[in-house]
Amino acid sequence: MELRNLHALVEVVRRGGFSQAAKVLFTTQPNVSKAVRQLEDELGVPLLDRVGHKSQLTDAGRVIYRRALSILTESEDMLAELDELRGLRRGLLRLGLPLFGSSVLFAPIFALFRSRYPGVEISLVEHGSKRLEELLRAGEVDLAASLTPVSEEFEWQDVRAEPLVALLPSGHPLAGRSSLRILDLASEPFILFDEGFLLNKIIMDSCARHGFQPSVAARSGQIDFIVGLVKAGLGIALLPRLMAEQRQQPGLHFVPLNEPDTVWHMALLWRKGGYLSHAAQAWLALAREAHPAVQLNAESGPGPAGSKA
């Protein structure tokens, strides 16, 4: 059943005839007659009792006319809602952000998105990168932030790349160095994040490339607790430079890690070939505004160039 045929019937009734309806519909009287006849043939019942130049609704016609008014109204409302979605006056963004780094990287984007698109609801979940990728794979979030390298099942957009720094308690023999190699830390007890954090894999892979497996003194999902454990002398930790700089305090010393291939590189992911809503596209555009280029400064060594899988 085509909407244009229902529209033709409604206008014939509203305007009192086929010719008058044709003017409103910007077509010809034969086209209007054909549309109503097609509707009658499809339904198998006469809808109009044609008497001379006048047409009156049959009993079946009154039922169809009433339903047609409702259907056409719903259709107009549906198109209006789609226009609002395209214009981001309403909608839903399902966003997955990591527990680590979001306050620095994504809080400003969150605030800007809210100010520009107040009618779009944001459903936010926070987990480690591994869990966020699982949610994205299952279609439970539209976008998820995670670390590179990225699985081929996802498309991705750069956010930020940061070198790692070693957190050492003040007075540590290595605290006075201008930079460190990962091998310099081989005999140190490491304080790592919980298993769900991909930063652990970056650190462990770097150690493996240099031929050792670190001794793990403790694990935690809370960065401030990890900093506290380092300050107490339990071990050393490796953090992205940006996050470490925010936690400078007496009793701690930060030394850059001189390992160009050991980088914390955050990206925004979505399912390859999946539908990307207007709200998700708007978030990605704001992320590009906030983080226009991914590169490491010269003294930290070369990092991964901005790219897209």
Asked if 214 and 134 sit in the same domain, the reply is no
> Last residue of a domain, which of 70, 86, 102?
86
Written as six digits, the tokens of 222 are 């809370």
Enclosing domain of residue 136:
91-159+264-300
Res 293: pLDDT:
64
Q: Are 49 and 58 in contact (CB under 8 A)?
A: yes
29: number of Cβ within 10 Å: 14
Would you write out the chain's pLDDT as a tens digit for each of its 309 residues?
Answer: 788 888 888 888 888 888 888 888 888 889 988 988 998 888 898 888 877 667 888 888 889 888 888 888 787 767 766 766 677 878 889 999 988 788 888 999 999 999 989 988 899 999 888 889 999 998 899 999 999 888 899 999 999 999 999 999 988 999 989 999 999 999 999 999 887 788 888 999 999 999 999 999 999 988 889 999 999 999 999 999 988 888 888 989 999 999 988 999 999 999 998 888 889 999 999 999 988 865 443 333 323 233 333
Who's near 45: CB < 8 A, 6+ residues apart? 58, 60
Is residue 309 one of the residues assigned to a domain? Answer: no
pLDDT confidence of residue 304: 29
Query: pTM for the complete prediction?
Result: 0.67
User: Is 307 part of a structural domain of the chain?
Assistant: no
